[in-house]
Amino acid sequence: MSRPSASAAAAARARPVFSALGDETRLALVARLSAGGPQSIAQLTTRAGVTRQAITKHLAVLAGAKVVHDIRRGRERIWELDPQPLQDASRALDQISRRWDEALGRLRALVEE
């Protein structure tokens, strides 16, 4: 098995992703990019409820967490989802749950012995 700190380290690495997805606007952006594919800032701003500049800032935060990346094309900037960090974060959460189950099992064994 893994060392005690293995899942904790994985979670720590995923922390920027959690932080980025914790905001409602940003999570909506990710959902949109996930379902609608690569889109420009102007496109992502429509029906977002906030200014284009706000969207730009949010995209920068998401990019900082490696959740999205941009591709410049002419006068526009296309943003695309990066699924890998999301997968990693997903696995990290799963490991935390599993580790808890193990800890619970050990506790029960301790009580019943």
Judged by DSSP in three states, 113 sits in coil
Q: Which residue has the tokens 């409820």?
A: 49
Buried b (16+ CB within 10 A) or exposed e, 28-55: ebbebbeeeeebebebbbeebeeeeeeb
Residue 52 interface partner, choices DNA, its own copies, none, CB cut-off 5-8 Å depending on type: DNA
- Pairwise CA distance, residues 21 & 18, whole Å: 5
62 counts as binding its own copies under rule CB under 8 A: no
Return the DSSP state at 65. T
Residue 63 interface partner, choices DNA, its own copies, none, CB cut-off 5-8 Å depending on type: none
Residue 91 interface partner, choices DNA, its own copies, none, CB cut-off 5-8 Å depending on type: its own copies
Out of 66, 69, 77, 99, the residue judged to bind DNA by CB under 7 A: 77
Q: Which residues bind its own copies (CB under 8 A)?
A: 4, 7-8, 11-12, 15, 18-24, 27-28, 30-31, 33-38, 81, 83, 86-87, 89-91, 93-94, 96-97, 99-101, 103-104, 106-107
